Structure 1
Amino acid sequence: MLRFLVHYGIHFLVPIAIGLYFYKDKRFWAVLILLAGILIDLDHLVASPIFDSTRCSVGFHPLHSYWAIMFYIGFLFFKKTRVVGLALCIHIIADTADCLLM
């Protein structure tokens, strides 16, 4: 239960809190983009089985690879891509926490 709460808390509550607190002038769009970071889970569709509760996503799926993570971190350095990079990094942090709690 703790693993579930931590994983989905980071996936949903953290992006909403960050969007509401740090992006006051464009809250709606910031929260929407931050929540859209969950879309990188579409790479689970190319795995077999699609969902495995004992598998760590980080380093396994293409959009969760270490190369992709470096790319997401690179997004943080540019103002135009910062929110997207933050969304993707929050997603990776959630999945890393999930892996650590396995």
Structure 2
Amino acid sequence: MVFPTILHYFLHFVFPLGIAWVFYRTTWKKTYLILLATMLVDVDHLFASPIFDPDRCSIGFHYLHTSYAIVGYVALLLFKNPYRIIGIGLLFHILTDYIDCQLM
């Protein structure tokens, strides 16, 4: 299906731009780059076999997509920027992956 793929990439690339623009207007470019950098959390996919499986939900499967990791991402919200922005990006990434899982 095309819609889930479009939604996935919209939520990973376009929506974070909106977050940066609305909530961090004076530093939106830097904030957007930080939010994009949080997609590096997907490095844990490299430890899976196969690396990509379109029928696999990443939440709870990959190391950096577990509930323990998510607690750490929430904890980042308690700190000042840039840690808070990193936490927002990681949690939004998890939310995007969760939406993917629901659409499977």
Q: So what's the TM-score if we normalise by structure 1?
A: 0.95
* Structure 2 residue matching 1:19: 3-state secondary structure: helix
State the Cα RMSD in Å.
0.9
Q: CA deviation at 1:91?
A: 0.4
1:18 corresponds in structure 2 to: 19
1:86 corresponds in structure 2 to: 88
Q: CA deviation at 1:24?
A: 1.2
Cα distance in structure 2, aligned partners of 1:82 and 1:89: 10
Count residues with an aligned counterpart: 102
CA offsets 1:2-54 (integer angstroms, 9 cap, x no match): 11122111111111111111111111110000111111011100000000000
Q: CA deviation at 1:77?
A: 1.7
Amino acid paired to 1:98: D
Q: For residues 1-102 of structure 1, what are the structure 2 equivalents within 5 Å? A: 1-80=2-81, 81-102=83-104
CA contact (8 A) 1:6 1:97 kept: no
Taking only the aligned residue pairs, the percentage that are identical comes to 47
* Structure 2 residue matching 1:7: 3-state secondary structure: helix
Q: So what's the TM-score if we normalise by structure 2?
A: 0.94
Cα distance in structure 2, aligned partners of 1:40 and 1:88: 7
Q: Which runs of 4+ in 1 moved over 2 A?
A: none
**For structure 2, which runs of at least 5 residues remain unmatched after alignment?**
none
* Structure 2 residue matching 1:16: 3-state secondary structure: helix
**For structure 1, which runs of at least 5 residues remain unmatched after alignment?**
none
